[in-house]
Structure 1
């Protein structure tokens, strides 16, 4: 299996269908979260909805780069979740995350292995490989938070 295939597999595992590292994934964890749970604050922790938005912000934000465009996202906007006040709004956020995750995985599958060690947009961001690995690690980090928050909400 080439490097790109391994990265695509790892990305899909954390976002959509894997069980290997955490015995769960975003889709599995979020599928049973109600919109009320998603926006419920537990102490000083971020809400599940906010963490979901945050992960999607970065996935959606790097898609244009893989389509030959520019990197337009800014870290300072990565927590600017619009208010979620209904099941429909929560479902729309989830559907966007699944759609963006599938799109990113599909674009990544088309990247030649030789591109992985090229600079991602600008030398200061490191290589494509570093950014893709970072996306996967970032997703696992927040998946852990979501899993814990979900358990805390279920035990209230």
Structure 2
């Protein structure tokens, strides 16, 4: 049975598998993932503004902001991220800046998946920093849901850019 491997996995490994699917290597739920999308988006597309929507670069920064902030907590550090700063993308002035953002995003994604996979299962039910933030499980599940939400936006924005015929498809 091809699903038999899932019956032997720890809960944290199953959750890490879901994270990996949306961030790095999955195609089952959304038929794509961030890594697949980001590696095929040019700097010009990434910073191209469509109407009043967020740019692809801003969405990438936004998800990466939360990954980095939660990784800090996983490592024993304080929770320092704030929603109001989650879209404060520094200006991207070159293809190299965009490439660096992608590399940082993929590194944080890989680290996040690994941290969750190796997390003791008991930690999932522990309070995350403060009771008002719920449990570790609640926060990790939120990352999955939040990531799919913005992945859908990213894909749609990319299609709008491609359909516009503007000279941003370099």
- With normalisation by structure 1, the TM-score equals 0.98
Within the alignment, does 1:25 sit opposite 2:33 as a pair?
Answer: yes
Query: Equivalent residue for 2:144?
Result: 136
Within the alignment, does 1:111 sit opposite 2:88 as a pair?
Answer: no
Query: Equivalent residue for 1:71?
Result: 79
Report Cα offsets for 1:23-58 as digits up to 9, x if no partner: 100011111110001000111110000000000000
Q: Distance in 1 between matches of 2:122 and 2:111?
A: 21
Query: Equivalent residue for 1:4?
Result: 12
Q: Is the 8 A contact 1:58 1:73 kept in 2?
A: yes
Within the alignment, does 1:54 sit opposite 2:62 as a pair?
Answer: yes
Aligned residue for 1:76, secondary structure, equals helix
Unmatched runs of 5 consecutive residues or more in structure 1: none
- With normalisation by structure 2, the TM-score equals 0.90
Q: Distance in 2 between matches of 1:100 and 1:112?
A: 20
Q: Is the 8 A contact 1:67 1:107 kept in 2?
A: no
Query: Which structure's CA Rg is the greater one?
Result: 2
Report Cα offsets for 1:61-106 as digits up to 9, x if no partner: 1101111111111111101000011100000000000001111111
